[in-house]
């Protein structure tokens, strides 16, 4: 079953960072921030962020109203 997660992307380090961008991922379970960082490493680098500071479960409706989900079927799925 697909579940949706909002990730807070952060710049800096674990002790001092800014987090001003969010991303949605799809998974079969909720990743830890460290797992989400590894899963999204290429996207983080492209966007200029260092790590995922927070992972929050969201509903299908929240995902589709807050993020561009037009190519959802092509998204990699976190397992």
Give 49-71 as a DSSP string: --EEEEEEEE-HHHHHHHS--TT
- Residue 1 — very low, low, confident or very high, per pLDDT cuts 50/70/90? confident
Phi, psi of 2 (to 5 degrees): -75, 135
Structural domain including 54 reads 3-78
If we measure between CA atoms, which residue out of 64, 67, 30, 36 comes closest to residue 50?
Answer: 36
Taking only the tens place, the pLDDT of each residue in 26-76 is 999 999 999 999 999 999 999 999 999 999 999 999 999 999 999 999 999
Angle among Cα 20, 24, 29 to the nearest 5 degrees reads 125
Residue 14 above 90 pLDDT? Answer: no
The count of structural domains within the chain is 1
Alpha-carbon span 33 to 44, nearest angstrom: 13
Alpha-carbon span 76 to 65, nearest angstrom: 20
The pLDDT, as a whole number, for residue 55 is 98
């Amino acid at each position: 079953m697909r579940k949706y997660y909002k990730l807070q992307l952060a710049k800096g380090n674990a002790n001092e960072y800014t987090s001003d961008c969010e991303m949605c991922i799809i998974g079969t379970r909720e990743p830890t921030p460290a797992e989400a960082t590894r899963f999204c490493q290429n996207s983080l680098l492209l966007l200029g962020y260092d790590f995922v500071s927070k992972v929050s479960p969201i509903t299908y409706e929240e995902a589709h109203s807050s993020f561009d989900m037009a190519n959802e079927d092509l998204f990699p799925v976190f397992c």
